[in-house]
Structure 1
Amino acid sequence: MFAEERKAKILEMINSGNSVRVSELSRLFNVSEATIRRDLIELEQAGCIVRTHGGAVSKTSTNFEPSFKEKQDKFLKEKEQIAKKAASLIEDGDTVTIDSGTTTQFISKYLNAKGVTVVTNSVNLADELSDREDVEVIVTGGLLRTKTKAMVGPVAEETLKKLKVDKLFLGANGISIKSGVTTPNIVEANTKRVMIEGAKEVFLLIDSSKFDEVNFSLICPVSKIDYIVTDKLPKDYEKYEYLGIKFILT
């Protein structure tokens, strides 16, 4: 079988709604796992699929959720610059909630404000801030999701409901005018909604690849966001501005 024919069959399998694994494809097509990985890389570069740890899924799957590790290295430069800009928005004495995520985790690296109280559901962020004597850290507790390193669920939400903060720095997997701010997991979406309810101002931190992406679970309508901190304006940015959302570019 020629490489193009093999890739076409792999794509057909994925688009039929199945996730695939490298080891299974290797056996099915009787080629090495290295060859299958190369096929999947080429399909991803062509915009046809999304590679996962050990396999691939359809790019159009709304409930696909990459792991923290899988997301960590993507758009790394953009994420760090977005977090740096977000950290500059935190002022001395602020109370802030910082959501768990591969972008928000960098805020601790650039946080220069003094006397700040940080509420977070991120185990990574809490650990990174634990040596800062000038920052008070409140950890929400809750169910720890190994996939995203976020603490979510009723315990986290009860903590968040008791606290009112000046600013929320929120993460998400997708945003669109029509479908709102979304993420793959229902429980995590609900915890994020509680964060929004307790904040005076909501800053959504997303790199430009997240615009027009739609995931399974709605966090909130776009109108609930006050600011979007990102690396590039979306093509329909005027529609966001019409809703009163301000863009902060890195």
Structure 2
Amino acid sequence: MTQQERLVEILKLLESKEILKQEEIAQQFNVSKDTARRDILKLVEENLVERTKGGIQLPVIKQQITDYQNRIIQHSTEKKQVATLASSLINSTQTIWLDVSTTVELLSQKNLPKETLFVTNSVDNAISFSTNKNQIYLLGGYYQADSHLLKGPMLMTQLMNFYFDIAFIGASGISEEGIFFDELEDIDLHQQLRAQSKQVVLLIDSSKENLRTSFKVSWETIDTLIVNQPLSTSLQEAINQHPITMIIP
């Protein structure tokens, strides 16, 4: 096996293993430690890997991209169903909020009116919607690299300058108790969106049912719930206690 062939195989291994040590490379490919060290140096020089304590790993940004692609792929059929239903609510005269959500981002694949103004704090949304020639306003703030979003006081100040016809939001989970998010800052953001939106629409796939985190808002936060299939009886009964429109395929 040539060095070039070995480097390709090392990169393939790193896709499944977070860190590879020099000793592992030597053993895996039956080469000397010096050869393994030269392979590592070559990969580092080409900016294909990063050194870490005890070995090498894929560059952080590549891992972030891989993680995001995996989230897109998970339950993709269900998410596309939800996005299709949501797209029917959009018209050319509206101002729309787009949450940081893989399901919300799938709206960019729909044939949406070019006159509609979309506003977001998601870098992925901004790229996807601008690629399709939609009008997109990206709010500024502190960049959180692992989620490709902008947040913080600056974002909240800018947000107050808008009133949305529809705010499309995502969530980490739903239960009889309410709607769950990953971070405390998400609560402030979605409460502000409630105050500044004519209609708040939660887009979620059924895999999120009965998933709970530490941070929750009440069902009063939303007006409409779009989900890919009927929910459990107990959850549906809890939602029915509120004036929420359910949209299901």
With normalisation by structure 2, the TM-score equals: 0.68
User: Do residues 122 (structure 1) and 122 (structure 2) align?
Assistant: yes
**Structure with the larger helix share:** 2
Rate the CA distance shift 1:70–1:186 in 2: closer, same or farther, 3 A: farther
Q: Cα 1:22–1:145, aligned 2, differ >3 Å: closer, same or farther?
A: closer
SS at match of 1:242: coil
Query: Aligned Cα RMSD in Å?
Result: 2.3
Structure 2: how far apart are the matches of 1:187 and 1:143?
12
Q: What percent identity do the matched residue pairs reach?
A: 26
Supply the distance in 2 between the matched residues of 1:156 and 1:111 (Cα, whole angstroms).
28
| 1:82 is aligned to 2:79 | no
Distance in 2, matches of 1:137 and 1:217, equals 29
Runs of 4+ in 1 over 6 A off after TM superposition: none
1:182 partner SS: strand
Corresponding position of 1:104: 104
Tell me which residue corresponds to 1:95.
95
C-alpha displacement at 1:223, in angstroms? 1.7
Shift of 1:169: 0.3
Aligned to 2:209: 211
CA drift of 1:70 comes to 4.2
* Max Rg structure: 2
Contact 1:152 1:188 (8 Å CA) reproduced: no
| 1:81 positional shift | 1.6
1:200 counterpart residue number? 198
**Alpha-carbon separation, structure 1, partners of 2:239 and 2:85:** 20
Contact 1:90 1:111 in 2 (8 A): no
Partner of 1:224: 221
Instruction: State the shift of 1:111 in Å.
Output: 3.9
Partner of 1:160: 159
Q: Give CA deviations for 1:93-126 in whole Å, capped at 9, x if unaligned.
A: 1111011111111111114224101111111111
Is the CA contact (8 Å cut-off) linking 2:223 and 2:244 kept in structure 1? Answer: yes
Deviation at 1:226, TM superposition (A): 0.6
Structure 1's unaligned 5+ residue stretches are 1-20, 24-31, 33-53, 55-66
In the superposition, relative to structure 1, how do residues 103 and 183 fare at CA in structure 2: closer, same or farther (>3 Å)?
same
| 3-state SS of 1:130 partner | helix
Gaps of 5+ in 2: 1-16, 20-27, 29-56, 58-66
CA–CA distance in 1 between the matches of 2:180 and 2:72?
A: 19
1:183 aligns with 181
Contact in 1 for aligned 2:191/2:221 (Cα 8 Å): no
